[in-house]
Amino acid sequence: MPLSASHPRSGAMAADRPPVASRRSSWLDDQKRSFLRMVSHELRTPLNSIIGFSEIISKELSGPLGSPQYKEYAEHVRQSGLKLLRLVNQVLEIARLEGHVTDLAACAEPLDHAVDDALAGLREEIESRGVQVRVEGQGSLPSVLADPRGLRTVLTNLLQNAVTFSPEGGEIRLRAQPAPGRVVIEIEDDGEGVDPADIPRLLRPFEQGENALTRSTEGAGLGLPIVALLCRAMGGALRLLSEPGRGMKALVVLPTP
Q: What is the DSSP letter of 228?
A: H
Dihedral sign from CA coordinates of 112, 113, 115, 120 = positive
What would the mean pLDDT of 204-209 be, rounded to a whole number? 64
d(CA 42, CA 39) in angstroms, rounded, equals: 5
CB burial string 182-198: b at 16+ within 10 A, e below: bbbbbbbbbbbbbeeeb
| Alpha helices, H only, the chain | 8-16, 20-58, 68-98, 111-121, 123-129, 148-165, 199-202, 212-215, 223-233
| Alpha carbon 247 to chain centroid, angstroms | 21
pLDDT in tens, 10-20: 454 444 555 66
Q: Does residue 82 carry a pLDDT above 80?
A: yes
d(CA 227, CA 217) in angstroms, rounded, equals: 19
Give me the residue spans of the domains in the chain.
20-98, 107-255
Beta-bridge mates of residue 178: 183
Residue 178, phi then psi, degrees to nearest 5: -70, 145
Among 177, 179, 118, residue whose Cα is nearest residue 148? 118
Highest mean predicted confidence (pLDDT) among 8-22, 61-75, 227-241: 227-241
Task: Report the residue count for the chain.
Answer: 257
Q: Does residue 211 carry a pLDDT above 60?
A: no
Return all residues near 135 (Cβ < 8 A) that are at least 6 apart. Answer: 115, 119, 141, 174, 175
- In percent, how much of the chain has pLDDT > 90? 51
pLDDT in tens, 28-65: 556 666 666 777 778 888 899 999 999 999 989 888 88
Q: What was the pLDDT predicted at 44?
A: 83
d(CA 185, CA 250) in angstroms, rounded, equals: 8
The helix or strand, by DSSP H or E, that contains position 207, with its residue range, turns out to be none
The helix or strand, by DSSP H or E, that contains position 192, with its residue range, turns out to be none
* CATH class of the domain defined by 107-255: alpha beta
pLDDT in tens, 109-141: 999 999 999 999 999 899 999 999 999 999 999
d(CA 204, CA 238) in angstroms, rounded, equals: 13
